[in-house]
Structure 1
Amino acid sequence: MSQTNLQEKLPQPIERGPKVEASKEEQHTVEYSLLRAVVLILTCTMAMVLNIANSTMVSIALPIIGHDLNIPSERLQWLVSAYSLTSGCFLVFFGRLADLYGRKRVFVAGSLWLAVFSLGLGFANDEITLDILRGFQGIGAAATIPSSVGIIAGAFPPSRMRSFALATFSAGAPMGAAIGMILGGVLTQLTAQTWRSVFWLAAGLSAATTVLGMFSIDADLPSTEKDTRVDWLGALLVTAGLVLIVFVLSEGEIAGWKTPYIIALLIVGVICMVLFVLWEHYLEHVHENHSEEALNSRWTPPPLMKTSIWGRAKGKFAAAMLIAFLNWSAFLAWQFWVQIWYWQLYYQDYLNLSPILTMVRLLPMFVTGILCNFAIALSIGRVSLVVIIVLGTLLTGTASLLFALINPSSPYWAFGFPAAVIVVFGADFVFASGTIFVAKISLPHEQSLTGALFNTMTQIGTAFGLTISTIVYDRVVARDESSIDSHSATLKGYKAAQWTAFGFAMLSAVLATMFLRGVGIVGYSKHSVIQDEEKAAREKEQHESALSLDAPTIVS
């Protein structure tokens, strides 16, 4: 394809910010000192670390919380689910707000919100207060994650630095899981305040992130989009639909899938999502046709999410989303059942280890998270996307396979250590390379929204993976506990859940092999080099309208 034809086919958006040429944007990036760039990247990464750690730290503290506040064990999981509901289901809404009204504003406000409600959780004295505050706490995380993606993409033009920054940000997810488990175990066991200190630590870290964000992130540029109205109906439909679906996935196995309210909520949730897609398609059609009457109507704001975005790069955008969904289903299912296996069955029941010594055996996840960041940064500009993602899904699956085959009498080094090492590589290879890929085929004014979509898919994948693996576990235990002792039946259930996670990972590997072939290399091998096609698009997008076409720069 010739250079001229390629430029004509690229989507041409109206970019936020002043009307400057691409060369000036490059100069702006060069002005970042190494120290300032590092602080900016770490600030955004801290948002991801806190997002995940706020789940894993609380998971560890659940038994003590239940004992102190007399919360029945069957309702304890809502302390985790309430956070996951809001942090996952508000991502798309806040992603659009960040793109429209300023990523720094949304990031700082979200971090401050997170700090305030984390602090309040440390003083809660009853179950209802905890559940409500956990839900509000999750809203803060939903604001910081998509705005972080947009901040990084806006601060660093396509280059090795952007790849490194997004890889570091993505590494915050497995690192947050490891840090949360380690600190949660230490604080719960060693501090006088036990579980309350977990929330106070989260509050302090969130406050520090707020301050860092205020000083390290550039001021938001005024929007030059002609229509900055918010699609409130679309926001309501997608948020309500996601909340109901994730709620049903979390509650269905507990309440029973035939329970009337579970069936009703699932139907309503699906209807909301279908209406959301139809509404967004209608708004996109209206704005593409430039009907003056429709454009001036208060009922037809710009779409919250263009439905054509899912066909970007010849459908590979949608494929990347589905692969991330399945791999995250595998990773979080592995993590959930490993927590139960390590803490309740093997290390504490079999070996009588304390929570701290149990956490020490998960330290490799933290170290691997750091190493994985460097591996992605070095390989993303040299190795094709399909190789990285397939390798990541295979590593995730191997970790699940190790625990599906584990022998309780085997030493830690035989199964536990290798699984803790490779699972982080598996998760981060998919998450980091997927984030970089999505950022590459997204227009500058879409970065927070597409980042939100990617993270939403992983959040839904989390709920889906836990639900399906729990169903498998329950069915296996119910089938076998009448013929063998309960301890052995439980062990078989744990292994069956890990086989389920293995299946998710292998399916994602197959999909990656089938649908991501031809993508090629999505990173950059030279610092601060912008591809000619992307540079041409940046120069033209200052004055031309956005078009919903494929971005073919990385697809052969």
Structure 2
Amino acid sequence: MDSSVQSDLTQVAEVPDATSTQQRPAWNSVLLVLTCTLAMILNTASAAGLSIFYPVIGADLAVREELLQWLTSAFSLSSGCFLLLFGRLADLYGRKKMYVGGTLYLGILHLGCGFAQNSTTLFVLRGLQGLGAAAFIPACLGILAQAFPPSRARSAAFATFSAGAPLGSAVGTQIGAVLTEYTSAFPPLSCLTLASWRSTFYLLAGISLLCAIGGLLLIDADLPSTEPDRRVDWLGAFLVTVGLVFVVFVLSQGSLASNGWKTGYIIALLIVGVLFITLFIAWQYHLESSPDNRHPPPLMKLSMWTRAKGKFAVVQVIAFLQWSSFISWNFWGQLYYENYLHLSPVHAALRFLPMAIAGLACNVFVMLVVSRMPLVVLISTGTLLTGLAGLLFAIIRPSASYWAYGFPSTIVSVCGADFVFAAGTLFVAKVSLPHEQSLAGGLFQTLTQFGTAFGLAISTIPFNSVASKSVSEENEAPLEAYKAAQWTSFALAMFCTLLAVVFLRRVEPVGTDERRKEE
């Protein structure tokens, strides 16, 4: 292994964490992992899994096609912008509290979405929902890192947790499509206003309640943080949150504004957002380099990014770009099936069903090999395969069989997302201190959520550019527009592969059975 990486891992390993040594029955450990996995299922289904019936929502509430991405972006906006703060609060004041509160909050807003009568209400509620995910996802990562010290059990726990992502996509896509298409035809449900797309939100509200109950019963009671100074850097939290809100908003809205990226308020908000993030970085540097009892410790130590000779930062960047590629492939693939091929939500969802099965297989594979396969092999292979998914859609022929392009694309698409998430979170947990596990996990999730908005924004640019040049008589985007968006997905994944091959060499497997010892 790279000596600097091994040194960082050893230093972290030597920090005691009394909470990780608690003994619990095997059945309790299994149920704890399943509870956190259910929360990941809920998060993915809430974030991106619902996009399969966005066209139905658009028709019902009169939402233009180019605005539909906001139903995903609004969730990612609030979720991604508050993950750092909520991760820090979870580490300081209790991961169980954040988990239970976040799942209950999300469930209440799912009910609100189900009863929304206009697009404005739905967009606002979708934006507010992200706060719930921002609360419980970092908490989950901290809970698992606390409950399982570096071991094969930790590898299994994180791989199982990662498997919640493809399962969540299946819940949101397949089950959501079935509910959307068939509940309106069932009189006992339609009379209770459970018909069409609304029923899926009610289902997710029920899953949220189940997550909260599981958390109350199975998660260990919160123990005091081992960090001496438990004050919160509220100024830093304000700076980074405002900066991320502006930047993510610009990424989501830039291509939709009246004059595109040249629109005045888009340029202004981008400048302001970058300024706030720059001020946040400068403030964190000041707090870490010049400790002063008058000020709290930094919200995010900048030295975290230099751990493992900068490989911590590389893994975070790969997570950001990989998620950009995967989400853009998924979003434009669904719109291609529904808006270009005019398939029903159920028939479109069936074409993505193999993705959930492949995702489960990927995570089982990671569980088995993560203690033996170098990190670079796992991540570069995954990102390469996700890029292949975008390539297949970029050269797709509508007249060809689904088995020629659609099926293999769906199979390989999740490899990057699952390989990067499972191996990446293990690596991040291993080089993070016990009292910053939720913060580090929140940072990882921030980059993936930020990547969601970035991927949709960057792929919308070529889509709109091609679509504006050639629009059919039915006012539908041409095939070339969907292909242009998928070429963007392919390019993002290939860049991830390049980063992994160049910068993650000589990093040994991250899922070892015992803590590494300094040579």
Q: TM-score, normalised by structure 1?
A: 0.86
Hey, what does 1:549 align to over in structure 2?
A: none
> SS of the residue aligned with 1:90?
helix
1:428 & 1:408 partners in 2: Cα distance? 28
Q: 1:234 and 1:441, CA in 2 relative to 1: closer, same or farther beyond 3 A?
A: same
Hey, what does 1:434 align to over in structure 2?
A: 424
> SS of the residue aligned with 1:191?
helix
1:227-246 correspondence runs (5 A): 227-246=229-248
CA contact (8 A) 1:82 1:134 kept: yes
Hey, what does 1:225 align to over in structure 2?
A: 227
What does the per-residue CA deviation read over 1:287-339, in whole Å, with 9 as the maximum and x for residues that have no partner? 3xxxxxx31x2xx1111000111001000001111111111111111111111
1:433 & 1:447 partners in 2: Cα distance? 15
Residue 476 (str. 1) matches residue 466 (str. 2): yes
2:348 to 351, 355, 358: 358
Q: TM-score, normalised by structure 2?
A: 0.92
Q: CA deviation at 1:11?
A: 5.4
Residue 146 (str. 1) matches residue 138 (str. 2): yes
Hey, what does 1:510 align to over in structure 2?
A: 498
1:466 & 1:258 partners in 2: Cα distance? 18
Residue 338 (str. 1) matches residue 340 (str. 2): no
Hey, what does 1:308 align to over in structure 2?
A: 303
> SS of the residue aligned with 2:223?
coil
Question: Structure 2 counterpart of 1:63, which letter?
Answer: P
1:11 & 1:245 partners in 2: Cα distance? 33
CA contact (8 A) 1:57 1:185 kept: no
Hey, what does 1:62 align to over in structure 2?
A: 54
CA contact (8 A) 1:14 1:225 kept: no
Hey, what does 2:175 align to over in structure 1?
A: 183
CA contact (8 A) 1:13 1:445 kept: no
57-66 vs 211-220, which moves further? 57-66
2:476 & 2:132 partners in 1: Cα distance? 42
Hey, what does 1:538 align to over in structure 2?
A: none
462-471 vs 87-96, which moves further? 462-471
CA contact (8 A) 2:250 2:266 kept: yes
Hey, what does 1:319 align to over in structure 2?
A: 314
Q: CA deviation at 1:183?
A: 1.7
Q: CA deviation at 1:33?
A: 2.6
1:148-187 correspondence runs (5 A): 148-187=140-179
Q: CA deviation at 1:240?
A: 0.7
Q: 1:486 and 1:222, CA in 2 relative to 1: closer, same or farther beyond 3 A?
A: same
Residue 44 (str. 1) matches residue 36 (str. 2): yes
Q: 1:189 and 1:241, CA in 2 relative to 1: closer, same or farther beyond 3 A?
A: same
Q: CA deviation at 1:102?
A: 1.0
Hey, what does 1:253 align to over in structure 2?
A: 255
2:395 & 2:13 partners in 1: Cα distance? 52
Question: Structure 1 counterpart of 2:40, which letter?
Answer: M
56-65 vs 180-189, which moves further? 56-65
1:375 & 1:164 partners in 2: Cα distance? 10
272-281 vs 171-180, which moves further? 171-180
1:415 to 405, 411, 433: 405
Hey, what does 1:455 align to over in structure 2?
A: 445
Q: CA deviation at 1:489?
A: 6.9
Q: 1:8 and 1:485, CA in 2 relative to 1: closer, same or farther beyond 3 A?
A: closer
Q: 1:168 and 1:8, CA in 2 relative to 1: closer, same or farther beyond 3 A?
A: closer
What does the per-residue CA deviation read over 1:450-492, in whole Å, with 9 as the maximum and x for residues that have no partner? 111111111111111111111112222334x28x988997111
2:243 & 2:231 partners in 1: Cα distance? 22
1:82 & 1:70 partners in 2: Cα distance? 18
Hey, what does 2:189 align to over in structure 1?
A: none
2:88 & 2:477 partners in 1: Cα distance? 48
1:8 & 1:366 partners in 2: Cα distance? 33
Hey, what does 2:190 align to over in structure 1?
A: none
Cα RMSD, aligned residues only: 2.4
2:269 to 253, 265, 277: 265
1:408 & 1:63 partners in 2: Cα distance? 20
1:405 & 1:76 partners in 2: Cα distance? 25
1:17-32 correspondence runs (5 A): 25-26=20-21, 28=22, 31-32=23-24
> SS of the residue aligned with 1:302?
coil
187-196 vs 54-63, which moves further? 54-63
Gaps of 5+ in 2: 185-194
Question: Structure 1 counterpart of 2:480, which letter?
Answer: K
Hey, what does 2:391 align to over in structure 1?
A: 401
1:248 & 1:488 partners in 2: Cα distance? 25
Q: Between Structure 1 and Structure 2, how many residues are aligned?
A: 504
CA contact (8 A) 2:8 2:308 kept: no
Hey, what does 2:105 align to over in structure 1?
A: 113
Gaps of 5+ in 1: 19-24, 288-293, 534-552
1:57 & 1:311 partners in 2: Cα distance? 34
What does the per-residue CA deviation read over 1:88-127, in whole Å, with 9 as the maximum and x for residues that have no partner? 1110011100111111111111111111111122222223
1:67 & 1:487 partners in 2: Cα distance? 15
